Amino acid sequence: MPGTHQVRTEITPGAVHLPRWLGPDQQRRLVEACRGWASGPVPMRHTRLPRGGVMSVQTVCVGWHWQPYRYTRTADDVNGERVAPLPGWLAELGRRALADAYRDPAAGDGYAPDTALVNFYDGQARMGMHQDKDERSGAPVVSLSIGDTCVFRFGNPVGRGKPYTDIELGSGDLFVFGGPARFAYHGVPRVRPGTGDPATGLAAGRLNITLRATGLG
C-alpha cells in the first residue's frame, strides 16, 4: 500500500479521497475479477427501477444482490441465481482502505463488508443523487474507481441539493464515506470518456466498486 506521502483530502468529516490508491497491477486484477462476475452466475445488466425506468449504469453484485431497494441472496429481478460470494481478499482490501483513509491502522479492524456493487459506466451513464441506505449497518462504504475519470458529487445527509462538493475520481482512486458522512447524498453527474488507460484492461468506460456491510445475516 502507498506510504504516508499519499495525497489525502477530507471532503467532509468522514469522507476521504485518496487519489491513485490502487496501483496498476491491483487495477488490472480488479478489472479481471469484475469481468468474471459480469459474466455470471448473475450477468451484469441495467437495473430496472420500480417505476419502469432503467439505470444507465450496468451493475453486478457479489455477496448480496442489490435491487431497488433491498438486498437478497438471489438475483430475483435478473435470473434467480445466487450471486457470487464476496472473496476474502476483497474484504481485506476494504480493511486496508479504511486504515489508509482514516490514517489509523486499527480503523479497518472489525470491518466485514459482505457485499460489493460493481457498476460500469459508459460515456453516457450517470448516477443521480442518492443515499446508500438499504444497508442495516452504519459501517463505512469503500469506493474504488478504475478507468475513465468521472465527476463525483458528494453532498450532505439532509437532501440532494447544496451544499455539495464536486471532485474528480480517476483510475485507482479510493473514496471512503463513513461516520457523519455515511448517509450523505452522492452521485455521478458525468464521466469523461477517453481519460482511462487501456492498460488497466478496460478499453473504455469507468468501473466503480463499492464495498458495504449490509447488516443482514
For ligand SIN, the binding residues (CB under 6 A) are 117, 119, 127, 143, 145, 152, 169, 186, 188, 208, 210
Q: Which is nearer to Mn ion, 29 or 160 (CB)?
A: 160
Which residue in this structure is represented by grid cell 456493487?
Answer: 117
Shortest reach from residue 150's CB to ligand SIN, in Å: 6
Which alpha helices (DSSP H) does 16-172 contain, by range? Answer: 24-39, 88-101
Give least dist CB 165 to ligand SIN, A: 14
> If you search the block for the grid coordinates 488497466, which residue do you land on?
200
Which residues make Cβ contacts (< 8 Å) with residue 60, sequence separation at least 6?
34, 37, 38, 42, 43, 44, 45, 83, 118
Cell of 30: 480488479
Q: Interface mask (CB under 5 A) for Mn ion, residues 114-133, using x and -?
A: ------------------x-
User: What are the backbone dihedrals phi and psi of residue 43, each rounded to the nearest 5 degrees, phi first?
Assistant: -70, 150
Q: Could you tell me if 89 and 75 are in contact, meaning their C-beta atoms sit under 8 angstroms apart? A: no
From the list Mn ion, ligand SIN, none, partner contacted by residue 75 (C-beta under 5 to 8 A by kind): none
Minimum gap (Å) between residue 164 Cβ and Mn ion:
14
CB of 119 to ligand SIN, least distance (A): 5
Size of the site for Mn ion (CB under 5 A): 1
Closest residue (Cβ) to Mn ion? 132
Nearest approach in angstroms of CB 24 to ligand SIN is 20
Closer residue to ligand SIN, CB minimum distance, 84 or 115: 115
C-beta separation of 108 from 95 below 8 A: yes
Count CB neighbours of 55 within 10 A. 17
Q: What residue ranges bind Mn ion (CB under 5 A)?
A: 132
